[in-house]
């Protein structure tokens, strides 16, 4: 079956599972200022304002440069599916890396301080929970690259989320024993040729999940490298970061199915 027809089929099944219309108008969107302690943050909210009842909420965490149009587009897509999608701001209002070097420094602050990472992503989840459009008992979190690592740390913190999905995210943690606190299912969508996430890191992640008895699934996409869902990453896999249309479409279909199953 062609990829576009397959994804359409998944969307139909997903919407039938919890009563969301398959097609809806472009979602309402707005920026939302919130805080983590003294840090002022600015997230992005997207939802279908024709739906009058609370519906499942999805936290979306950005890549290593900061909250950008890519993360906002993903939030819009989820809003179109009938979810309340809130794209977090991990770095602070107006903070955005201009290049990869600056992004490495910014993300490194949080990668090297997992307590700070957890606090910042938890602040975004708390903001999502507080929204009148969201059902606080039906929440999930997804993240891309740095964001994938962030939502996995959110799960390890024991956050009350039904599911967490990492797209080409970092899988390592200095606190593998915390996996026993994970309450929901984990889905890791990984490029089989990702040289930024080493095979030993993948193996350690699987051991961590198994040792803790976590319900998890790891999918490896052949030929896909880091950032395989991001069209802006270009089409040259030799750089280590490149878009892969097949992996992008297949991984999004996996997400849609996962959310429908966990949040119905």
Per the CB < 8 A criterion, the answer to whether 119 and 94 are in contact is no
Name the residue range of residue 82's domain. 3-263
Which helix (H) or strand (E) is 219 found in, with range?
A: strand 216-221
**From CA 195, how far away is CA 240, in angstroms rounded?**
7
CATH of residue 189: 3.40.50.1820
Residue 122 to residue 257: CA distance in whole angstroms: 25
d(C-alpha 10, C-alpha 3), whole Å: 11
Question: How many structural domains does the chain have?
Answer: 1
Alpha carbon of residue 83 to chain centroid: 14
Nearest-10 crossing angle of helices 114-130, 100-111: 90
264 residues of the chain, pLDDT tens digit each: 444 443 444 444 444 344 444 445 689 999 999 999 999 999 999 999 999 999 999 999 999 999 999 999 999 999 999 999 999 999 999 999 999 999 999 999 999 999 999 999 999 999 999 999 999 999 999 999 999 999 999 999 999 999 999 999 999 999 999 999 999 999 999 999 999 999 999 999 999 999 999 999 999 999 999 999 999 999 999 999 999 999 999 999 999 999 999 998
pTM of the model: 0.91
């Amino acid at each position: 079956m062609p990829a576009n027809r397959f994804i359409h089929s998944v969307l139909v099944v997903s919407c039938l599972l919890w009563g969301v219309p398959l097609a809806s108008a472009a979602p309402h969107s707005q920026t939302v200022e919130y805080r983590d302690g003294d840090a002022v943050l600015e997230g992005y909210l997207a939802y279908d304002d024709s739906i009058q009842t609370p519906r499942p909420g999805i936290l979306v965490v950005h890549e290593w440069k900061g909250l950008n149009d890519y993360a906002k587009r993903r939030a819009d897509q989820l809003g179109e599916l009938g979810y309340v999608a809130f794209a977090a701001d991990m770095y602070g209002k107006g903070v955005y890396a201009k290049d990869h070097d600056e992004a490495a420094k910014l993300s490194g602050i949080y990668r090297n301080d997992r307590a700070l990472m957890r606090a910042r992503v938890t602040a975004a989840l708390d903001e999502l929970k507080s929204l009148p459009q969201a059902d606080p008992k039906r929440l999930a979190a997804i993240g891309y690259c740095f964001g994938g690592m962030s939502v996995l740390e959110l799960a390890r913190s024991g956050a009350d989320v039904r599911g967490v999905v990492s797209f080409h995210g970092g899988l390592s943690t200095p606190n593998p024993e915390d996996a026993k606190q994970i309450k929901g299912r984990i889905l890791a969508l990984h490029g089989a040729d990702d040289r930024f996430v080493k095979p030993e890191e993948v193996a350690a992640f699987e051991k961590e999940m198994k040792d803790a008895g976590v319900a998890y699934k790891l999918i490896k996409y052949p030929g896909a490298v880091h950032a395989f869902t991001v069209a802006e990453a270009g089409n040259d896999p030799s750089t280590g970061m490149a878009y892969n249309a097949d992996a992008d479409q297949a991984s999004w279909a996996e997400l849609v199915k996962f959310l429908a199953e966990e949040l119905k």
